[in-house]
Amino acid sequence: MAIDAYSPCPGGSGKKIKFCCKDLLGDLQKIERMLEAEQYMACLAHVERLEQSNPDRACLMATKTILLRLTGRMDEARLAAAAFLDKHPGNPLALSDVALLTATKEGGKASLPILEEAIVASEDAFSGRLYDAITVVVQALLSEGHFLAARALTLFQASVMGHKDSSVELLLRLNAAQGVSLVVKDGRGLQQCPNDVPWKAEFDEAFRLAGLARFSEAERKLAALSEAAGQSPTVWRNLAKIRSWMADNDGAIDALRRYAALDINRDDAVEAEALALFLAEDPLGDQIEVFDVIYPIADPDTLQARFSASHQVAESPVDPRVLEQEGSPPPKSVHLFFDKPVPKPGDPLDLKTIPRVICHALFYGKETDRAARLECVDLAESDRPLIGDLVRAAGGEVGAEKVDVSGRTSRTRDMLNREWRLSDGATREEFQKLADAYLEDVLLRSWPEMPLGLLDGKTPREAARDGTARRRVLAAILVVDFWLEQSGARFDTNRLRSELGLPTLETIDASETPIAALPLVRLARVDAARLPDDELLTGYRRAVAFGAQAAVERFGREMIARETLAGREERLQAYRLLSRMADDPAEARQIVQSGRQEGIQAGGSCADWDFWELSMWFERMEVEEINRLIDHIHRQHASEQGVVQRLAQLLVQMGLLRPDGTPALHPSAAARSSSPIAVPGDEAEDSGRLWTPDGVAGSEGEKPKLWTPGMD
């Protein structure tokens, strides 16, 4: 609607234009028309002319700030927003602009105090500028790894805007994110305090403020209250949550450990300790440095020829063009180095003979102002001598290496995610046998004897015998359990607990605790067979919503076993999810076939199930099944509307067709180029990544997890 004298002032004063800036009404209407026509440069010039005769007017300063942002002049926008706030302290639009622009330059955490001021100043007037500020701050928080703070703001945004807003979609995506532990994602909010405590009024006020996203005010009240109610688990639990919503990880860790030390049940204490670990930069205190090492190469032709003939170097299937950076050409090739020669086809495979991938290296040719070079990425210190020897043996004259610390990684997690190179023709069964043996060795023999900073230099086995440290060992095992899940591995960590003489995680009888109130990390322990249908469905929906894979499998298997749930949407979905989770291809085939039959009986489409199954076989690279289904879809469904186009789109996504419809790769070739060998598993999708409004964060610099037989 066009603005008039009774419209709110665009400067954020809270007054109508008639009582605020009536003399500028005509100019404000002109500005509105120019904005609608996207005439941003002309509008900015018009506003700057008006400012000469009307200095420090809020409506003009607010408009100028947004125009500078729209025209990409961010530094000027920051100065304009700061001037706006200086002339109009407490103005909600000025605060929103400063918060947004602070997030883009200094980060999400730095912007939170200003954003909270904007929220307080806005009171019930939730402006578009405040909405935009929250959105940008959330994106910045996610990129910094402050998941809980980002989700808390998104929840507040969604509660204000309603269920149709895009913030609800983001909230659902955050809840389901696979790169975040269930310990972190736990969906339970703040706890209410008992009615009979003398400090209930102060507690309730902190609770109210937290619900309004006034987190720092709520934190101060609870922190003061903790002095009078220091033995109250509820106070410390809520204080930890609110501090995590403020991206105050150190404060949250302190509160979590104080909570865990109180008289609470063991599961609550261990999970609080585990959350403290997930919030820490070095969860287990075992991080090691990794390096980028650059070797100048005097004779690149000799280097590449010797690499091609080497049994300890192989060319990666990664297309070098995707690694091109602005201002420099892409690498000519990407190589992998192994710690020992690749076994020949038919050679016996065991943990002593199988080669480990120790380095990914980018080879760059000679440039005008730079010699040819080999850049080895994320190289462990212990492997540097071996890489140096291999490079010098292949390259002859090699210049002085340049070494930079590229990051840090957990020694434990690195052990769990070792990459292997199997010989050509190695089977999935051989791989799985090796993976199982490897995890058995690492988790039951090596890791229990590894000193950890978390345990003050003690090993898990030593700390497990110390009553004061046992809780931290149990929490560390929850972290290991999550890392295993991220790699797609299956290992019962109760075996590790037993090996260390620690209490195991027992099955939970949900009749004692409503399933909707259970912490997410405990859902997979529920005895699903004893649940009534409605509780089973509740547990399944909750597991799906929060990406609790083990719980989805447990509840899903129970659902497809109950004929009382036949035809239910949740049960049909469970067939699909379970087919992807099944390790055995024969079991996956049986599950999807049962789902197809039930889906058709419920009025569903056979073609929909065929496409689902086809995508599943592509993930597993089962060539015979892929060919069978493609043939079946052509014969049975080609005449159905949209089926041919849908099949073509899927084949393009899988790399078998080019966008113009010409063949790109035969399924058998695709299978040869995608045989998994990563340890301990290869089925985790987007491991360690976090969904943001613009895509995926948290994956930059990660090593590829797969190397494939037949790609040399």
pLDDT of residue 673: 41
> Which amino acid type is present at position 658?
R
- Return d(Cα 261, Cα 666) in angstroms, integer: 60
pLDDT (average), residues 485-510: 93
Percent of the chain with pLDDT over 90: 55
pLDDT of residue 692: 29
Nearest CA to 395 out of 414, 376, 421 is that of 376
Name the residue with tokens 């980002």: 150
Q: Mind listing the pLDDT tens digit for each residue in 545-556?
A: 999 999 999 999
pLDDT (average), residues 206-227: 95
Question: Which of the four CATH numbers 3.40.50.2300, 1.10.645.10, 3.40.980.10, 1.25.40.10 does domain 200-279 have?
Answer: 1.25.40.10
Nearest CA to 101 out of 131, 62, 75, 67 is that of 75
**Distances, alpha carbon 604 to alpha carbons 284, 461, 556, 572, 646, in Å:** 49, 54, 20, 10, 17
Q: Report CA 385 to chain centroid distance, whole Å.
A: 34
pLDDT of residue 711: 31
- Return d(Cα 456, Cα 551) in angstroms, integer: 34
Q: Mind listing the pLDDT tens digit for each residue in 573-590?
A: 999 999 999 888 889 999
pLDDT (average), residues 346-360: 86
pLDDT at 701 over 60: no
- Return d(Cα 618, Cα 614) in angstroms, integer: 6
Mean pLDDT of the chain: 87
Q: Mind listing the pLDDT tens digit for each residue in 264-323?
A: 999 999 999 999 999 999 999 999 999 999 988 888 888 888 888 888 888 887 778 878
Domain boundaries of the chain, sorted by first residue: 200-279, 287-414
Q: Mind listing the pLDDT tens digit for each residue in 49-92?
A: 999 999 999 999 999 999 999 999 999 999 999 999 999 999 99
Q: How many residues does the chain have?
A: 712
Cβ 292 vs Cβ 379: under 8 Å: yes
Nearest CA to 65 out of 78, 52, 56 is that of 78
Strands 402-410 and 372-380 turn out to be unpaired
Name the residue with tokens 């959105």: 135
Q: Mind listing the pLDDT tens digit for each residue in 226-271?
A: 988 878 999 999 999 999 999 999 999 999 999 999 999 999 999 9
pLDDT at 702 over 50: no
Backbone angles phi, psi at 468, to 5 degrees: -80, -15
